[in-house]
Amino acid sequence: MAPPGDGALALDDLVKRYGAATAVDGLSLRAERGAVTALLGPNGAGKTTTIEICEGFRRADAGTVRVLGLDPVADARALKPRVGVMPQSGGVPGTARAGEFLKLVASFHTAPLDPGALLERLGLTEHARTPFRRLSGGQQQRLSLAVALVGRPELVFLDEPTTGLDPQARHSAWELVGDLRAAGVSVVLTTHYMEEAEKLADHVVIVDHGRVVAEGAPADLTGAERQLRFRARPGLGLDELLAALPAGSAAKESPAGHYLVEGDVRPELLATVTAWCASHGVLAEDLRIERRTLEDVFLELTGRELRA
Amino acid sequence: MTAPASLDLTPAPGAASLPRMIAAQTRYELSGMLRNGEQLLLTLIIPVVLLTLFSATSLLDLGPGRRVDFLTPGVLALAVMSTAFTGQAIGTGFERRYGVLKRLGATPLPRAGLIAAKTLTVLLVEAIQAVVIFAVALALGWRAHGDPLSVLALLLLGTAAFSGFGLLMAGTLRAEATLAAANLVYVLLLAVGGVVFPLEKFPAGVRSALELLPISALADGLRQVLQHGAALPGKPLLVLAVWAVAGLALAARFFRWE
């Protein structure tokens, strides 16, 4: 782990309370320079609060924050030009024309990107003169992304950058994040799209109840483990199957009619399962062998119940 | 479709100089304000209509003296209030509500720079208003006299007082409440602040209370200078200074950025 101050982000034992509610509860994490770090978590997990503390919008009640080695509040003046911020929504006056607002923010910097080229890259050229409030949700998101990038920052915070984007725009935003990474920009993003985290991030930090519950490279988090799934009539007795499987395997039915076999998935295990099915007159439908996805890991760690 | 232009995303951060940032923000705010129809109605059309209508007709009893000499200072005071108070309160209130102030807070433009740009914008709009109002007044037969420095002092103190309370409202109330309250205050002060209706028409007790309003102090002070040739009228300047200090101190204390 890089020493504090060395990375893009170094948070230690961060705490933030709103009245009686604790939004961030002893959160520690590191984000490396030049890497894409994704904060993944359910709604209300504390992702946005954490990001806003890093951006200097909120002060933590306890803990330390270092952004590019600096304090986001005390060193705000040195930090602002170096950091790009894309908030979750809004932040642009409704009457402002898209191109003019982007030009305004560009003019606060010494060597900004060309606003016209940036609009073109984000597919907004024909909306340069459209007032912000008349842009679609996805167009507003893209303009917001442009505003975060126009100053050529070293570090960008993207709070749910692709929420509300259509598939084309989402892929184009992903491509842009890839280009940022290739150019050496550090990216810290929040998302609740597993696919996004899996695809983009070098480092995924799963946050829940204001704490880090797991972190690592996407492949490390999902592990090399495979699992076998199939559908069949509900209520099959699994004891006999378990007895036939190698030690350390597990089999369960959840939800009814959906069967999951975990363990060392080899050809022999597949043969055992299908033989057992055959002996019970069961046709295993949708039989498949797959790796655990980030979504499996995420749901295991954060539970399946819906959050208010 | 042409291929998207290639962008050099390599980090090259750096903040422009503070004067450049303030100039850019001022240009941006000014162009937004001049394009906003409701703002123009408030800042230019209503004052010009009031000035022309009541100068050219005898709908109102404006007391002794030439009508345009009475109306020009009052309308000038109204113009200051509409820009520094009403327009600024509503504009800033909605910027706060839509997270614009927060978003600008993430850019290299410091808060003091944003306040400076807003103040400059208000002063520039007021300069445009003054030019238009004086031009219309001259066309209606008004003759410029009085001490320009005294006029300037009154306008600046009035601007400070109205800005303070405009920002206080924008930074503490919900945007919709600010919209309603700022318009209500505008109409009320237009009615009872000696802008076009002379305060002499009110009963003495009410009148002495009304004279302590910032709009009355500004209108009365401008009248003392422009209509009666006084220099640095003491009481109006004092009343405006008290409002300015109170408004700016309260705004500095209670303004919330988001």
Show which residues on chain B lie within 8 Å of chain A, measured between beta carbons.
4-5, 7-16, 20-21, 24-25, 28, 31-32, 35-36, 94-95, 98-100, 102-103, 105-110, 258
Q: Is residue B246 part of a domain?
A: yes
Is cis: bond before A255, omega within 30 of 0? yes
Q: Are residues A230 and A203 in the same domain?
A: no
> Which of A200, A221, A242 delimits the end of a domain?
A221
**In residues, how long is chain B?**
258
Q: Average per-residue pLDDT in chain B?
A: 92
pLDDT per residue over A236-262, tens digit each? 888 888 888 888 888 888 888 999 898
Looking at residues B5-29, what average pLDDT do you find? 92
Both A84 and A215 in one domain: the answer is yes
- With a CB cutoff of 8 Å and minimum separation 6, the contacts of A154 are A8, A33, A68, A82, A83, A185, A186, B11, B13
Compute the distance between CA of residue B10 and CA of residue A203 in angstroms, rounded to an integer: 21
Pair (A228, A279) in one structural domain: yes
In a domain, A307, yes or no: no
Nearest chain A CA: its distance from B120 CA (Å): 17
Q: What interface predicted TM-score (ipTM) does this complex get?
A: 0.87
CA–CA dist B33, B26 (Å, integer): 10
Average pLDDT over residues A24-35: 94
For residues A281 and A163, state if they share a domain.
no
Q: In the prediction, which pLDDT does A302 show?
A: 79
Domain of B126, in residue numbers:
18-55+62-254
- Please count the structural domains in chain A: 2
Which CATH number characterizes residue A274's domain? 3.30.70
Asked if residue A230 and residue A146 are part of one domain, the reply reads: no
Strand partners, A203: A37
Q: Kindly tell me the burial class for residue B253, based on how many C-beta atoms sit within 10 Å of its own C-beta (0-12, 13-18, 19 or more).
A: exposed
First to last CA, chain B: 41
Q: How far apart are CA A121 and CA B149, in angstroms?
A: 53
A84, A155: one domain: yes
> Is residue B132 predicted with pLDDT exceeding 60?
yes
Pairing between strand A250-253 and A226-231? Answer: unpaired
A216 and A231 fall within a common domain: no
Domain boundary among A221, A251, A278: A221
CB-based contact B44:B82 (threshold 8 Å): no
- The range of the structural domain enclosing residue A265 comes to 224-291
Asked if residue B5 belongs to a domain, the reply is: no
d(CA B200, CA B5): 69
Structural domain contains residue B13 = no
Mean pLDDT value of segment A266-288: 90
What residue ranges in chain B does DSSP mark as E strands?
Answer: none
A298 in any annotated domain: no
- Residue A15: inside a domain: yes
A39 and A96 fall within a common domain: yes
Both A285 and A250 in a single domain? yes
Say yes or no: A60 and A106 in one domain: yes
Q: What is the mean pLDDT of residues B211-231?
A: 94
Domain co-membership, A162 together with A272: no
What is this structure's pTM?
Answer: 0.85
Number of other CB atoms surrounding residue B146 within 10 Å: 18
CA B115 to chain centre: 14
Q: Which residue of B has its CA nearest to A172?
A: B4
**Cα–Cα distance measured from residue A96 to residue A144, given in angstroms and rounded to the nearest whole number:** 13
Total domains in chain B come to 1
Non-local CB neighbours of A95 within 8 Å, separated by 6+ positions: A131, A132, A133, B32, B35, B36
Task: Choose one of A201, A221, A241: the last residue of a domain.
Answer: A221
pLDDT at B231 over 70: yes
Cβ contact, residue pair A109, B20, below 8 Å: no
**Is residue A21 situated within a structural domain?**
yes
